Chain A
Amino acid sequence: MPHLTLIQAVNDALHLAMKHDDRVVVLGEDVGENGGVFRATEGLHDTFGEDRVVDTPLAEGAILGAAIGMAAYGIRPIPEIQFTGFMPMVFDHMVSHASRLRWRTRGRFTCPLVLRAPYGSGIHAPEHHSESHEAYYMHTPGLKVVVPSNPYDAKGLLISAIKDPNPVLFFEPKRIYRAIRQEVPEEIYEIPLGKAAVVNEGTDVTVITFGSMTHMAKEAITRASEQGISAELIDLRTVWPLDIDTISTSVAKTGRCVIVQEAPRAASFSSEILTLIHEKVFDSLQAPVERVAGFDTPMPYYRMENYYLPNANRILAGINNVLNF
C-alpha cells in the first residue's frame, strides 16, 4: 500500500474520481499545466486533457459561479480556490446560489459540486493565506463543510464529497499537506460525510476538534495521559452537518469538554458545539466547556502566528481547567 501525504491523497482521489466518472471536471487558477500551487491537481491535465482540467482566468467568484451553472447542467465540477483568504470573492455565489439552488427550485435543479481550498494557517504565508472560514459556511443552510486531518481520511472524504448530491466545501489544512505520511489504499473508497472519528477513547474529558488541530490535540492528550488523565479525542472530519451522536455520547460519558479550533471564537464552530452540548447533554456536564481557539482579531502575519494558534500547551491547559473546576 503506498504511503501518501495528504496532498498526494487529495491528488489520488481526484485522479480516481475523474477516471470513474467522466462528468467530473476540475477548474481553477493554475490547476492545469502547473498542477495547482500546492500540486493538488498535478498530472490531471496530462491525463484528462484541457477540457476537463481547466485553467480559468483569475476570478474566484466566476470560478464558483460557472461551476454552479455546470453542476445544474449535469456535470460534476470541482472548483479550486487557491487560498481560503480569497473565499470572500466566492461568498455571494456560495451563499446566494450554490447553497440554495435545490431549495429554491424544490429539487428541480441541484448543485453537486465540491469546492476545494487550502485552508488554515501555519505555513508562514502572507496575509489572506491563513484563514479558517468554516463558520461562514456552517451558518449558511444547504452547505456541507469537510476538513480532513490525515491522508487516509482526505482521500475517502473527498471521494464521498464528489459523490454527494449537495454542494460541499472541502477545506484542506495546508500546514499538514506534507507533514504526515500514511498508508492509503490504491483503490477508490469512501468515508461517509457526517461521521466523526474517535481518535482516542477516554473517560475523563472529551476533546473535540478537526483538521490540523487534531494533531495538536493528540500531542496534548498524550501529555495529559502522562498526568493520569484519560482524554477522548474526537476528530469531526465533517464540520457541518456534524455528528451529534458521537459528541453527545462522549460528553455524556466524560462530563467535561474542550473544543479546539484555529478560527476566531465569536460566532464560530466552537460556539455552535458549545450550544449543542448545552442542548443535548447539559445534565451530564461537570464543568463549563472550555474553548481553545484563535482570538477575535485578524489572523496575525506569520511572525506572530504562534501566539495566535492553539498549541499542545494551550490545549493541555484547557484540559486541566475543565478537570480542576
Chain B
Amino acid sequence: MATKSKANKPVTVKDVFKNKFTPYTLLNPDGTLNGPAPDLSPEQLQAMHRVMVEARVFDERAVNLQRQGRLGTFAPLSGQEAAQVGSAFALRKTDWLFPSYREHAACALHGQPWLDILKYWGGNEDGSRVPDDVNIFPVAIPIATQIIHAVGAAWAAKIQGKDDATLVFFGDGGTSEGDFHEGLNFAGVFKTATVFLCQNNFYAISLPRESQTSSESIAQKAISYGIEGIQVDGNDVLAMYQMTKEAFDRGRAGEGPTLIEAQTYRYGPHTTADDPTRYRDSAEVDQWKERDPIERLKNYMISQSIWDDGKEEALWEDVRAQMAKVVEDYEALPERPVEEIFKYTFEEMPWHLEEQLAELKDFIAEYGNPNEGHH
C-alpha cells in the first residue's frame, strides 16, 4: 500500500496526508525503495544504523541487568529503533527533544550519553542531567504530560524569534489523555514548530490500539486541530527521517506543527515488570520481526554497496564492547552524597531542608548508613 512518487519527485508530507489512513513506506523490508532516496550520505546512513544497533544491544544488556537485580525496572525499546532514530536524525543540535520513557535511541542520538540513560534506570537522578549543550527534557513518566511542555518550548522559541523546533514522543495510549488534546490544540492555535511523534506500537501495556480509540487512525486526530497528520511505517528509518525533516522545515517556516503516527512494535514487554504473553500472541511478534528496522536499513545499505556482512559483524562486535564498557562504568559509580537528595529542590536550600539534611546526617552518624549495600 505504498504511496508511489510521481515523475521521480520525492513524496512530500502533502502527498502522504492525502492518503492519511495509509502508512507511508519508502524503504521496503527487502531493502528496495518506493521512491527517490532522501538526501543522506553513506556516512549518515551508517550513523543511523550504528545508533539503532547501539540501542538494540543496550536494550539487551539493560534487560539482563534488570533480571539479575543489577538495574531497576526498565522500559525496553527493541523493535522501535527506526521510529526514534529516523525522526531524531532530523533534529538540529539546538532543537529540543521531549521523550516519554522509551526513547533511548532518540536520546542517545541527540546527545545523551548511554551511561546517563543507564544511570536513570539504575535509580540515579544524575542520568537526567544532560550535558549543557544537549536539549533533552527528562523522562516524563506521567503519560502525555510532555506533549504540552514541547509546545511551550517551541512557542518560547517563536516568541524569541528563533527557529528551534521541538520533537515530542508519546505512545498510542497517550493519545487518550487530555494533555494530547490540549497540546495539539495549543500548537495548532499558536503554530508552534512541534513534531508530535506518536509511536503507535499497538499496545498501551496490555490494551490494544483498537480499544484505545475508535478512530480509524491516530493520524486523523490532527485534522480536528487544524494541523496535518500522517501515518508512517515506523520501521522504515528513511520514511521516518524524510517526513520528520519536512515537518520540521515547515514548522520552522511558521507553517505549524505536524502529527506523525509511526506504526511500529515493541518486541519486548512494556517494562521489565510486565509479561506480554498475557495479552499478545507470539505469532504477532514474529510477524513484526520480519519487518525488523535494523535489518531493513542494513539490506538497503548492502544494496547500495556501502555496507557488507563483514562490516555488519564488526559493528555488532564493536557495539557490544562499547556497551560492556557502559555497564562497567555504571557499576563502578560511587555512592552519591546524601546532600543530593536535598540540594536541587530549590535554587538555594531553605532552612527547613538544611535542618532535615542535618537530621539525616546525624542519624547516619549515630546508626550507620541505612543505604549501605542497597542497590
Does residue B152 face the partner (Cβ distance < 8 Å to A)?
yes
- B153 and A70 form a contact (CB under 8 A): yes
Does residue B118 face the partner (Cβ distance < 8 Å to A)?
no
Given contacts A68-B152, A75-B160, A108-B132, contact A142 B345 (CB under 8 A): yes
How extensive is the interface on chain B, given as a class? 35 or more
- B185 and A57 form a contact (CB under 8 A): yes
B135-149 CB contacts (< 8 Å) to partner A? 137-138, 140, 142, 145, 147-149
**Which one of A72, A73, A77, A109 has the greatest number of beta carbons of chain B within 10 Å?**
A73
In whole angstroms, what is the CA distance A142 to B341 when docked?
12
Given contacts A65-B182, A101-B138, contact A106 B344 (CB under 8 A): yes
- B155 and A69 form a contact (CB under 8 A): yes
Partner of B148, one of A52, A66, A244: A66
Given contacts A65-B145, A241-B352, A244-B351, contact A74 B156 (CB under 8 A): yes
B209-267 CB contacts (< 8 Å) to partner A? none
- A72 and B159 form a contact (CB under 8 A): no
Contact residues of A with B, CB < 8 Å? 25, 51-52, 54, 56-57, 59, 61-62, 65-75, 77, 92-93, 96-97, 101-110, 141-142, 144, 165-166, 194, 241, 244
- B178 and A73 form a contact (CB under 8 A): no
Binds A, one of B8-16, B73-81, B121-129: B121-129
Annotate B154-190 by CB proximity to A: 1 below 8 A, 0 otherwise: 1111011000101000000000001100110110011
Annotate B344-375 by CB proximity to A: 1 below 8 A, 0 otherwise: 11110011100000000000000000000000
Partner of B350, one of A71, A77, A96, A194: A194
Query: Nearest residue in B to A64 (C-beta to C-beta)?
Result: B148
In whole angstroms, what is the CA distance A166 to B186 when docked?
25
- B159 and A75 form a contact (CB under 8 A): yes
Partner of A165, one of B96, B157, B347: B347
Query: Nearest residue in B to A65 (C-beta to C-beta)?
Result: B148
**Which one of A54, A68, A77 has the greatest number of beta carbons of chain B within 10 Å?**
A68
Given contacts A93-B145, A241-B352, contact A69 B156 (CB under 8 A): yes
Residues of chain A lying within 8 A (CB to CB) of residue B350 = 194, 241
Q: What are the 3 A-B residue pairs with the smallest beta carbon separation, nearest first?
A: A69-B152, A65-B148, A66-B152
